Structure 1
Amino acid sequence: MIGQQERKPLLLTNVRPIGFGAETPGSAVDILIDGNGRIAQVGPQLSVSCEMICVDGKGAWISPGWIDLHVHIWHGGTDISVRPSECGAERGVTTLVDAGSAGEANFHGFRQYIIEPSRERIKAFLNLGSIGLVACNRVSELRDIRDIDLDRILECYSENSEHIVGIKVRASHVITGSWGVTPVKLGKKISKILKVPMMVHVGEPPALYDEVLEVLGPGDVVTHCFNGKAGSSILEDEDLFDLAQRCAGEGIRLDIGHGGASFSFKVAEAAIKRGLMPFSISTDLHGHSMNFPVWDLATTMSKLLCVGMPFDKVVAAVTHAPASVIKLSMENRLAVGQRADFTVFDLVDSDVEATDSNGDVAVLEKLFEPRYAVIGSEAIAASRYIPRARRLVRHSHGYSYR
């Protein structure tokens, strides 16, 4: 994240705190942030001076800064990644976690050209495969054992431990062919050595969703948890649903990871109705999912609200929950002296039609609308993403929209 020079103090007025734990004020407050980006005062109707930049929250909510636990932002280094600016602060997101775009062979470039220049906080899961998602599904990063270099992974982590938060494995046959669950087992061994969590993409079997859960342990993340793919949907198999529920209770984190092919309204609604909540809400944003069907984190949050997830749990699923995965402290985030890291947002009435990854449509009667991302003493105007018109693209295996 870019170092910030001292700016004018920033005064946020008339904002309603949510998600700050037991210390959360019960009514609207003002928040004064000094020129170094640290909280100087919190309270009702703070004094205003001409030296301040004043931002009127107009009664909007303010939460700890939103965290998207699954994005692809190695722009220029992979063929699917988007720029951090397209899904970060201008969408209300102050922390972006790249989910395996870079492997050990190219992480140095990701660090130099993406992590270090960005105003957002950027962390990353390191891809188990050396090349990462350079050509995504066209050239798999996990064809066989030659694509994994244990020694270089350990070295890469040692040199970049402040940026790497875990290991990422994509466990589906379009990536691993008939290799099955073996890459997950290798990834788990490495994550144990490094003492970091592993994030596993579940999709088209093999590997089976069941097999993946049996390898994982507390603190690990299953992304695409509510996908609707044949053979990988927790609604198809009562034993799998029971296993997922038990594993979630034991500390395995179920992450949404919407993406272009990995979120089902029907699966999410049925799971939540039965008491199985996702641990975290993330987008899996990339160049093939941004315009259809994901859009942004705020819209993904609105989709979970639509299928029955309570408002406060949705907020927690983009703040406290992902923060615990990346070891980002959430204590005393409104205390004087803390560096400011907030999202200001409204929850508004809506009739927007949104689509899941299976093509099912739902009307979002309530929408999360980001207003500002506050990073230090800078308040960055934010809004939901407006998708561009989709175009039909021909592939060797058929057509798809982008």
Structure 2
Amino acid sequence: MLLTGGRVIDPTVGRDGVFDVLVAEGRIAAIGQDMGSGVSADTQRIDCRGKLVLPGLIDTHAHVYQGVTGRFGLNPDMCGVHSGVTTLVDQGGPSCITLPGFRQYVAEPSKTRVLAYLSAYLVGGLEGHYYPELYRPECLDVEATVRSARENRDLVRGLKAHAEIGGFARWGVDVMRIATRIGREADLPVYIHFGQLWPRPEEGGLAVNPDSIFNQVVEMLKPGDILAHPFSRHPGGFVELDGKLHPLVHEAIRRGLKIDVGHGSHFSYQTARIVLDAGVIPDTLGADMHGYNTQVAAPAGTPDSHPDEEDHIFKGKTRFSLVSAMTSMLALGLPLAHVVAMVTRNAARMVGMEGELGTLKVGGVADISVLDDARGRWVLRDNEGTEVVTRQMLTPAFCLRAGERFDATAAILPQPQEAASAVHA
């Protein structure tokens, strides 16, 4: 198979130009210019002119423990190869108890490569952490979780925990202290959710200043740990109640902490503008799609609602993907080269597979994402109702996963909406 004439961008090796990519037996056989005359007559040629040819995209924030996490978990190949994404990192779906099932029923049968950031909690991501009392300090087991992580290194690439108002009002910092201990003992990065997830207790509970959470958590973390949801509209994260960047964010970056966008339904263009204007540029980008914030039918018997769909105008019923999240980053002014790095080289580094994933190299696995790259005017809208106009629209065309082609046919993919003349950038 020869991909011809596409714009190849590979931040790992600094490549950005028009090249052909030859794939044979699931591997990248050659990368060069005008290679058509040098390949055999039976080589399948795919015209990629006007398209971006990228290392296989890595979604750093997926929820794909389908079935076990109830309505929350989506089909991995719908979010993965049929959305132009070759690798998914499930954030906190499996736990030390349920990881064997995740391996057998999700990771192994999926065409998409599926990795996991193991939940710090024994129950994992059941119904998207719908029942807060399942996440109290007594529901963590350091020894069992560390052992599970150590003995499943091929699959487990980090740990997932939450730092938010509802949890702090119930247990203070106790759960976070246990979660960060697991990360240290397992020698794995910890991915921290910021922004309110659970409602405050109706009776009793601790008084919590949302602006105090960030600094308390950062003091517990080690270099390489990941701060998620910098662009969340919820309190208790990167932006304080007064609308200004939390004063410890730059110090956290100096300490070696990383930042993942974790787009999701709580993504806010207004918050993003505050963070970016303060000079804070996220390292990686995850879509954070799940069954409560996408247009996917709910399994019978699951809860009717979820915090992610209760407090904003679209009730969570949106369509988005990792590639549409990339378009959002471009609309915010991030350079294409950095946006590509977020979902390739930097994401591979986050899962400890830099040089193996997130790059196109001769002899390496043929994980390749091909995107349409259009120019025009399209309106983008977040779940606060804020609209922006982008003049560059990325959409997935197809991907190769270990050399096997998958077209971007997922029903969940958004349909671009052309901007009316009254909408201003």
The equivalent residue for 1:149 is 141
The equivalent residue for 2:246 is 241
How far is the alpha carbon of 1:343 from its aligned partner?
1.2
Within 5 A, what are the aligned runs for 1:136-285? 136-140=128-132, 142-175=134-167, 177-204=169-196, 208-234=213-239, 236=241, 241-261=246-266, 263-285=267-289
How far is the alpha carbon of 1:134 from its aligned partner?
1.7
Corresponding position: 1:308 with 2:333: yes
SS in 2 for 1:234: coil
- Please identify, of 110-119 and 324-333, the stretch whose mean Cα deviation from structure 2 is larger: 324-333
Corresponding position: 1:38 with 2:27: yes
The equivalent residue for 2:69 is 78
- Compared with structure 1, are the counterparts of its residues 335 and 133 closer, same or farther at alpha carbon in structure 2 (3 Å cutoff)? closer
Distance 1:19 1:211 in 2: 37
How far is the alpha carbon of 1:59 from its aligned partner?
3.3
The equivalent residue for 1:53 is 44
Distance 1:345 1:161 in 2: 31
Query: Does structure 2 retain, via aligned residues, the 8 Å contact 1:283–1:294?
Result: no
SS in 2 for 1:18: strand
- Please identify, of 170-179 and 53-62, the stretch whose mean Cα deviation from structure 2 is larger: 170-179
Distance 1:94 1:305 in 2: 21
How far is the alpha carbon of 1:368 from its aligned partner?
1.2
Query: Does structure 2 retain, via aligned residues, the 8 Å contact 1:259–1:283?
Result: yes
Corresponding position: 1:103 with 2:62: no
Distance 1:96 1:387 in 2: 19
| Overall identity of the aligned pairs, in % | 31
Query: Does structure 1 retain, via aligned residues, the 8 Å contact 2:227–2:259?
Result: yes
How far is the alpha carbon of 1:217 from its aligned partner?
2.2
Distance 2:135 2:362 in 1: 51
How far is the alpha carbon of 1:152 from its aligned partner?
1.6
Distance 1:236 1:128 in 2: 29
Gaps of 5+ in 2: 197-207, 296-316, 416-425
Distance 1:185 1:319 in 2: 31
- Compared with structure 1, are the counterparts of its residues 323 and 386 closer, same or farther at alpha carbon in structure 2 (3 Å cutoff)? closer
Equivalenced residue count is 376
Distance 1:303 1:235 in 2: 23
Distance 2:181 2:7 in 1: 44
Distance 1:15 1:138 in 2: 44
How far is the alpha carbon of 1:337 from its aligned partner?
1.5
Report the AA paired with residue 270 of structure 1. I
**1:67-93 alpha-carbon deviations (Å, 9 max, x no partner):** 110110000011211001121112111
**1:43-81 alpha-carbon deviations (Å, 9 max, x no partner):** 222234342222111231212111110110000011211
The equivalent residue for 1:322 is 347
Corresponding position: 1:359 with 2:363: no
Corresponding position: 1:368 with 2:412: no
Distance 2:127 2:167 in 1: 12
Query: Does structure 2 retain, via aligned residues, the 8 Å contact 1:65–1:373?
Result: yes
- Please identify, of 164-173 and 346-355, the stretch whose mean Cα deviation from structure 2 is larger: 346-355
Query: Does structure 1 retain, via aligned residues, the 8 Å contact 2:64–2:90?
Result: yes
How far is the alpha carbon of 1:198 from its aligned partner?
0.2
Report the AA paired with residue 342 of structure 1. I
- Compared with structure 1, are the counterparts of its residues 28 and 72 closer, same or farther at alpha carbon in structure 2 (3 Å cutoff)? same
- Compared with structure 1, are the counterparts of its residues 353 and 141 closer, same or farther at alpha carbon in structure 2 (3 Å cutoff)? farther
How far is the alpha carbon of 1:236 from its aligned partner?
3.5
SS in 1 for 2:10: coil
Distance 1:136 1:375 in 2: 28
| TM-score where L is the length of structure 1 | 0.86
Corresponding position: 1:17 with 2:8: yes
SS in 2 for 1:270: helix
Query: Does structure 1 retain, via aligned residues, the 8 Å contact 2:195–2:237?
Result: yes
Distance 2:388 2:214 in 1: 26
Report the AA paired with residue 277 of structure 1. I
Distance 2:353 2:33 in 1: 28
- Please identify, of 69-78 and 172-181, the stretch whose mean Cα deviation from structure 2 is larger: 172-181
Distance 2:238 2:189 in 1: 23
